[in-house]
Amino acid sequence: EPGEGRRMKKKQKKLTVNLTMCRYKVIADCCKAMGWTQTEHEADWQLFWTDLSVGEERCMRLKRLQKINHFPGMQEIAHKCKLGRNLNRMRSKLPHFYNFHPETFNLPVDYKAFEKEFENNEGKGGGAKTYIVKPNDGACGNGIYLTRKPSNISPKLKSVVQRYISRPLIIDNRKFDMRVYCLVTSMTPLRAYIYHEGLARFATEEYQKVTSGNMDKTYMHLTNYSVNKNHKEYQANAGLEESDTNTGSKRSLASIWEKLEEMDIDPVKVWDAMERVIVKTLIAVQPNVAHTYKSCIPENRDSAGFTCFDLLGFDILLDYRGKPWIIEVNEMPSFDTSAPIDLAVKTGVISETLNMVCPTVQEARLLSEKIGGLGGGGAGLDHSERRRQLLALRKQQEVYYAKKFKRIFPIGNLSHEEPPPRGEPDEVWSFLGEDLGLNQKLEREKVAEYQECVRAASEVFEDALWLKLGKKASAERPRDYAGGMFQTFASAGQGSLMRQIARKMEEDAAAAAMPNPAYHLSEAPAKISSARGAPGQPDSLKNLLSMQQRR
């Protein structure tokens, strides 16, 4: 409603934002244009924007109605080595769905595997493969080089080695990649949006087939702006007219779609494929990030999973067939606005992001209300009802302000309101195929595809938890029982007993030859909430639960 929009805007003018750890002028300008007040106070603010990663301790200090622009644990997607590890694990489960990330080795751990893979390729007689080596903590193209010999890489070097995509899509005889902006407003449950515009970054030298003689030509192989801006052939955009954004070393995505049509590549299919690979990348790390988020932000101070948000920059390369490849993900993408096209695109994405994520007065009232039924009388809302109302407010705000952002997860039309999640209020996933009447074959395929990815991501996360406990992942272990409980207690902020509970439950299951309950991770909270005093519950677990209650 227009009236509701005016009320939202009026309330945002009272918002206080802390930008003391943000160096980008465009973000301060956007906050100023929205009428927000900037402060340098360490604790008195509603929104904090930082150019640094956010750790668990920082999130533990957050007060009610305070929001910060990074999720704790998002390094699982932002660090090159961790991104490669997570996507490799998912590829082992679903190789047909996770074939959009170049084959990756994390050195020095995977050095032997890299040598073996190199030898296998040579034995097949397919010619020497080219690999690109990136320092683990590198940025802006520093320290990157190409090689065809493992002997050129130090086995002790902390780096990421990827199969080089030697046949990229070429426009105007130059290699390019795309910076695509993705806004994640929640990881519990996952809610993600993609911005309709972005940037295409071009290399400054014409691309040629990779040979041993041109592997050192940085300006031909790398598309990083920080590298190519120093080349004499770098072409800066003169303005924002269509003729300006269709040429130069940095262009709009709209200009790329026009070029694809000229090359008989369907830009609609390419964009849809890009949406899918972004969502599947997020699904791969969701259980881990959600686990970290819940362990450091207690429910009584959490705005239904929306206390944090992240504006990610996905770097995507198209190969000669138009297939998108995820090269890396930036948790702290550059918001430098040295060129007019930068200013136009980044001002739009930041302004819309701030409108979609900013806290509201209604949220403040809900978070300040007394929670009843917890030993202090029956007055007030219970946790599930408050969460339901907070979710409704967040969705309403996102729907109203998402103009150039398109929601890519959960699937559904923005004009529809999602049904409440099935099961417990903190269930992680809800799929909307039949609920929203999705008749298009494409969307139905997406729903089924994402469901498979979610199941695999849950299994990968449980396997990782068992390995941390020193146990081997096998069919004999009671999957989802100790593993699911372990994750749930960590999510509830009861980490001091996590290991004891997991071990006790494993021992009890082995002693009693307990069958596998086979419930999904997202259902574990329901099992735990009904476990206290329930008949048939292992005595050791009852004792541990009683101990936690006494504490």
Pairing of the two strands 174-187 and 170-171: antiparallel
Residue closest to 329 by CA, chosen among 101, 110, 111, 146: 101
Segment 425-449, tens digit of pLDDT: 333 333 333 344 444 677 788 889 9
- Token couple for 285: 């790390």
pLDDT at 4: 44
pLDDT tier at 34, thresholds 50, 70, 90? very high
At 312-348, the pLDDT tens digits run 999 999 999 999 999 999 999 999 998 899 999 999 9
Rounded to the nearest 5°, which phi and psi values hold at 372? -90, 170
Position 507 confidence tier, pLDDT thresholds 50, 70, 90: low
**Beta-carbon contacts of residue 189 (< 8 Å; ≥ 6 apart):** 305, 410, 421, 427, 428, 429, 430
What pLDDT, on the 0 to 100 scale, is given for residue 543? 43
The more confident residue out of 84 and 468 is 84
Whether 478 shows a pLDDT value over 60: the answer reads no
pLDDT of the residue at 143: 80
Q: Is the peptide bond before 150 cis (omega within 30 degrees of 0)?
A: no
Residues 259-275, mean pLDDT to the nearest whole number: 95
For tokens 């990827």, the residue is 162
Q: What is the mean pLDDT of residues 64-83?
A: 93
Residue 254's pLDDT band (cuts 50, 70, 90): very high
Higher model confidence: residue 1 or residue 291?
Answer: 291
Over residues 508-549, the pLDDT tens digits come to: 444 444 333 332 333 333 333 333 333 334 443 344 444 444
Query: Residue 244: what pLDDT?
Result: 56
pLDDT at residue number 419: 36
Examine the pLDDT at 456 and tell me if it is beyond 80: yes
In the 8-state DSSP scheme, what is residue 128?
P
Spatial separation of the C-alpha atoms in residues 8 and 5, rounded to whole Å: 5
Average of per-residue pLDDT across 141-151: 84
pLDDT mean over 130-158: 83
Which among 439, 438, 436 has a CA at the least distance from the CA of 419?
436
Whether the predicted pLDDT of 497 surpasses 60: no
Dist. CA 331–CA 170, nearest whole Å: 27
Q: What is the pLDDT of residues 184-202, one digit of tens each?
A: 999 998 999 999 999 999 9
Residue 6 pLDDT > 50: no
| More reliable by pLDDT, 269 or 125 | 269
Residue 247 has pLDDT above 70, yes or no: yes
pTM beyond 0.85: the answer is no
Mean pLDDT score, 123-144:
74
Question: Is the per-residue pLDDT at 491 higher than 80?
Answer: no
Structure tokens at 468: 């941390």
Nearest to 19 by CA among 10, 31, 11, 34: 31
The predicted structure's pLDDT at residue 432: 38
Q: Is the pLDDT of residue 99 over 50?
A: yes
Predicted pLDDT at 511: 47
Give CA–CA dist 386/369, Å, rounded. 9
Residue in this structure with the two tokens 């890009």, named with its chain if needed: 274
Find, among 180, 72, 84, the residue nearest to 136 by Cα: 84
What gap in Å lies between CA 115 and CA 531, rounded to an integer? 50
Of residues 320, 80, 342, the one with CA closest to residue 229: 342
- pLDDT score at 120: 77
